Amino acid sequence: MRSPLRVLLAGTVMFSTLAVWGQEPGSTRGAPAVIRSEATPQAGHIFVPETSRDQGSGKVHTTYILRSNDGTRPIGLKAPIALFTNTPASNIQEPETPQSLGCLYVKSPKTDGCIPNYNSGSGGPVAAGYGAIVLVDAFDNPDASSDLAAFNSYWGLPSSTFVKVYANGNGSCTTPPPDAGWSVESSMDIEYAHVFAPSAAIILVEACSNSWTDLLYAEQVAFNYIVTNYPAGGQVSNSWQGGEFSGQIADDSLFADFSYNWATNYSTPILAFASSGDFGFGVGYPSTSPWVISAGGTTINRNSATGKYRNEYCWGGSGGGTSAIETYTTAFSGGNTGPWADFQYPIFGQGARATPDLSFDADPASGAWVYSQYGLGGWAVVGGTSLSSPALAGIVNRAGNKLGSVFLTAATNGSDWFSTWENNLLYSQLATSKAYAANFFDVVKGSNGVAATTSWDYCTGVGTPRGILNK
Three-state SS string over 206-262 comes to EECCCEHHHHHHHHHHHHHHHHHHCCCCEEEEECEEECCCCCCHHHHHHHCHHHCHH
Does 37 map to a domain? no
Does 40 map to a domain? no
Report pLDDT for 25: 34
* Residues of the chain below pLDDT 70: 1-32, 84-89
Report pLDDT for 5: 26
Pairwise CA distance, residues 219 & 214, whole Å: 9
Does 185 map to a domain? yes
Quote the strand ranges of 345-470, DSSP E: 354-355, 358-361, 368-372, 378-383, 440-441, 464-465
Contact 410, 4 (CB under 8 A): no
Is residue 186 helix, strand or coil? helix
184 phi-psi bin (left φ>0, alpha ψ -120 to 50, beta other): alpha
Pairwise CA distance, residues 471 & 421, whole Å: 11
Domain encompassing residue 246: 45-465
Report pLDDT for 32: 64
Which residues lie closer than 8 Å to 211 by C-beta, 6 or more apart? Answer: 58, 59, 60, 172
Helices (H), 61-211: 98-106, 144-155, 180-196
Q: Look up the pTM and report it.
A: 0.94
Contact 417, 13 (CB under 8 A): yes
Total domains, the chain? 1
Does 32 map to a domain? no
Report pLDDT for 90: 79
Rounded to whole angstroms, the maximal C-alpha distance in the chain is: 65
Contact 396, 466 (CB under 8 A): no
Report pLDDT for 410: 87
Domain at 308, CATH number: 3.40.50.200
Does 11 map to a domain? no
